[in-house]
Amino acid sequence: MADCFRLDDKVTLLPVVHRSGTHARAVENWLLEQEIDCLAVPLPPSFRESVLAGVELLPTISIVAQAPDAASWSEPELRDWSEQNQEELDEDESEGWLMDVSYSYVPIDPCQSVIAAIRYAVGERIPTRFVDMETPIFEGEDSYVTPDCFALREVSLEVFSAALLPSIPRPTSEQTIDRIRTMASRLLELRQRFNKIVMVCSIAHWPWIREAYQQLLLTESSEQEIVTNDIPAVNYSVNEKTLVFLLGELPYITSVYEQQRFTFQEKDVETAIDGVKRLYLSARSSYIADFGKRARKISPMLLAQCLKYARNLTLLDRRLTPDMYTLVLAAKQTLGDQFAIHVAETIRDYAFQEPLPWPSVDMGIQEMRLPDGDTVPALSRLGESDGQWRSLELNRKPLKDESLQWRMQWNPYQQCSWLPDDAKIESFRTRVIDRARALLGADLARSEKFTTSMMDGIDIRETLRHWYDGTLYVKVQPPSVGHLDACVFLFEASPDPAVYTWRTTWFAEHSWESTLAFYATDFHEEILGPGVAVATYGGALFLYPPRSIPDIWSDKELQFADTLEEKLIAAACLHANSKQIALLSPLAPLASWRRIAKRFGKSLVHVPLSQFSDAMVAQLRTVHVLNGKEVRSFAAHFIRQA
């Protein structure tokens, strides 16, 4: 065993950092290399049976909690505690002051180094002794900020612990000092019965337990006042949604540690990095499953940018591993609110949680809600969480009950669009029209020899073709002739009529809008808020300047069209004034489409959909439907942009 951990020839003191999965794995690996006949842990004997019962059920996470025993305190002790914790007690508060006394609890967390050591000892059938002092009211630990255990990737456990030694402050709490003396005394007692003892202790207590042990060893005295606690330590299961307040690592990262434990992977130090990557990939899968075709394309490059952003935010906070707020904020800034919501939901997911035969509690930051509904303050005996509330505005997904209620309140006799959607798709229509005009003019472009003007630029191809005579050629691009007043968008090659069941024609509300006919998914299937729904375009026809036309989906003149795409193209050819129709589609125009255009004396100008980014097209396909113009005043509060 390492000399820096050894107290004498029989006792070794192993300092640990609480609430760290990396350190817990390092402790397990260190114990595997040693020969041990007794493991001592810094917990009171009253927790022994309950903690061992919880460890037996790992990886299912639970908690062992103990109520405060204020009845065992003397009146002077109660008075001192009241003066320290409540400077001024009102008359109404004086009767219920006991409710402010904290419960103490032990999280049965596989990423807690002490729990990992107990788990190892139980598996190897090594005797485990609980050597901490019984405390009627647990006052908590002195605050000590430990560095990030991510450094264990590069250094050994001995080097890491020795580097922290100069920064460990001497404890000031009387209870902490008494606990340290009790643990040192009980180590001397164990020394008489075992030959290879390892005690796992907090790194904040490491030098002071060593000091107390050596003092007791010199005086050859191990007598300590025996303090008992009649309040039982009770096992509880934990509400899975509140595990994020209990665990040292994020619940998803904790499950990744457990998965790697089952697969016997050697490089546990990489779990902190791989876990974050797997977290984002899992969130991407649930995000795509939620939004389907409306989801933006999350490419590996975007995920790399998100990871880089999270790393920079983490370094700004003077840490090496990101917390929940950092991961969600990075996702929000790079990939949007909805992906950030899925990241937050994925973080709370712990894959190994199963029902337990114990009552359930809800955890919070230094508090918990008991099964009877009372919320009490609570302090962990294995390191307090440094978590704090931070605000981050995200537009959440509505609950099922809310969506059902809003669907029943929907008025089927009125609907309108959301103006920001109109502005975006009209702007895109203008771009497609301009692109189609450029294609029309490209057929008339020619090259001629340079004389006095550069015209529309040098024609490199013709110039190189005549390099032997040294003639310079320039391009002549004549202005486009005519105009385009009809544009058809086809976002899919073969749309399924069973999917795109909503087919309608909308007329322009403003002068900058087009007459719009389209087919889309049924907006009733996804209600976002009161009077706010969302659908996905499959295809659309734009006529600008706007004009009044019959509904193309019930027009008898268009009954010859068999498919949804043919119906839009036929309607465009019927109502367009220009001889050309701009067609945006993923494939070149089919022969049947060209026959329809020829039937009306028109031609199709194809603009490939691949010329535009997938993310932009996915955003443009989203159409929000409002149940009346009055809904526009508050619709932005419920609209979830993918």
Residues in Cβ contact with 506 at an 8 Å cutoff, skipping those fewer than 6 apart: 417, 515, 516, 517, 518
Residue recorded with tokens 């895109």: 428
Q: What is the pLDDT of residue 266?
A: 53
Residues in Cβ contact with 111 at an 8 Å cutoff, skipping those fewer than 6 apart: 19, 20, 21, 24, 247, 248, 249, 253, 254, 257
pLDDT at residue 1 tops 60: no
Q: What is the pLDDT of residue 54?
A: 94
From residue 277, alpha-carbon distances to 29, 281, 284, 288, 618 in Å are: 24, 6, 11, 17, 25
Please provide the size of the chain in residues. 642
| 289, burial (CB in 10 Å: exposed 0-12, middle 13-18, buried 19+) | exposed
- pLDDT digit string (tens) for 501-535? 999 999 998 889 999 999 999 998 888 889 999 99
Q: List the Cα angle 94/98/102 in 5-degree steps.
A: 140
Nearest residue to 21 (alpha-carbon basis) of 200, 275, 344: 275
Half-sphere exposure of 227 (CA within 13 A, CB side): 19
Q: What is the pLDDT of residue 82?
A: 54
pLDDT at residue 106 tops 90: yes
Cα 146 from Cα 203, distance rounded (Å): 9
Residues in Cβ contact with 54 at an 8 Å cutoff, skipping those fewer than 6 apart: 62, 63, 64, 106, 108, 235
If one compares 464 and 243, the residue with the highest pLDDT of the two is 243
Grade residue 459 by pLDDT with cuts at 50, 70 and 90: confident
- pLDDT digit string (tens) for 237-281? 999 999 999 998 999 999 999 888 877 555 555 677 788 999 999
pLDDT at residue 635 tops 90: no
- pLDDT digit string (tens) for 476-492? 777 665 678 899 999 99
- Give me the percent of the chain exceeding a pLDDT of 90: 48
- Give me the percent of the chain exceeding a pLDDT of 70: 90
Specify the pairing of strand 233-238 against strand 62-66: antiparallel
- pLDDT digit string (tens) for 290-323? 887 778 888 899 999 999 999 999 999 888 889 9
- pLDDT digit string (tens) for 351-405? 999 999 999 999 998 899 999 999 999 999 998 777 788 888 887 777 788 888 8
If one compares 447 and 629, the residue with the highest pLDDT of the two is 629
Phi/psi for 43 (5° steps) reads -130, 150
Give just the sign of the alpha carbon dihedral 6, 7, 13, 17. Answer: negative
Q: List the Cα angle 17/18/21 in 5-degree steps.
A: 90
Q: Are 378 and 103 in contact (CB under 8 A)?
A: yes
Q: Are 502 and 535 in contact (CB under 8 A)?
A: yes
DSSP one-letter code for 588: P
- pLDDT digit string (tens) for 325-347? 999 999 999 988 889 999 999 99
Cα 46 from Cα 133, distance rounded (Å): 10
Q: Are 626 and 415 in contact (CB under 8 A)?
A: yes
Cα 531 from Cα 438, distance rounded (Å): 42
| 239, burial (CB in 10 Å: exposed 0-12, middle 13-18, buried 19+) | middle
Q: Which helix (H) or strand (E) holds 475?
A: strand 473-476
Q: Which amino acid is at 391?
A: S
* Cα-Cα end-to-end distance for the chain: 55
pLDDT at residue 641 tops 90: no
Cα 539 from Cα 535, distance rounded (Å): 12
Residue recorded with tokens 């975006």: 424
Q: What is the pLDDT of residue 167?
A: 87
Q: Are 485 and 430 in contact (CB under 8 A)?
A: no
> Average pLDDT, stretch 416-425?
92
Q: Which amino acid is at 620?
A: L
From residue 440, alpha-carbon distances to 480, 605, 612 in Å are: 7, 8, 19
| 23, burial (CB in 10 Å: exposed 0-12, middle 13-18, buried 19+) | buried
Q: Are 594 and 573 in contact (CB under 8 A)?
A: no
- pLDDT digit string (tens) for 531-565? 999 999 999 999 998 999 999 999 889 989 989 99
Residues in Cβ contact with 229 at an 8 Å cutoff, skipping those fewer than 6 apart: 44, 46, 66, 69, 72, 134, 135, 136
Q: What is the pLDDT of residue 321?
A: 85
Q: List the Cα angle 203/207/208 in 5-degree steps.
A: 105
Cα 466 from Cα 489, distance rounded (Å): 42
pLDDT at residue 81 tops 60: no
Q: What is the pLDDT of residue 253?
A: 92
Q: What does the block give as tokens for 73?
A: 């305190």
Q: If DSSP codes are grouped into helix, strand and coil, which group holds residue 310?
A: helix
Mean of the per-residue pLDDT values for the chain?
86
- pLDDT digit string (tens) for 559-594? 899 899 999 999 999 999 988 899 999 999 999 999
> Average pLDDT, stretch 124-141?
89
Q: What is the pLDDT of residue 76?
A: 52
Q: If DSSP codes are grouped into helix, strand and coil, which group holds residue 229?
A: coil
Q: What is the pLDDT of residue 609?
A: 92
Q: What is the pLDDT of residue 49?
A: 94
- 293: number of Cβ within 10 Å: 16
Q: Which amino acid is at 315?
A: L
pLDDT at residue 284 tops 70: yes
Q: Are 313 and 322 in contact (CB under 8 A)?
A: yes
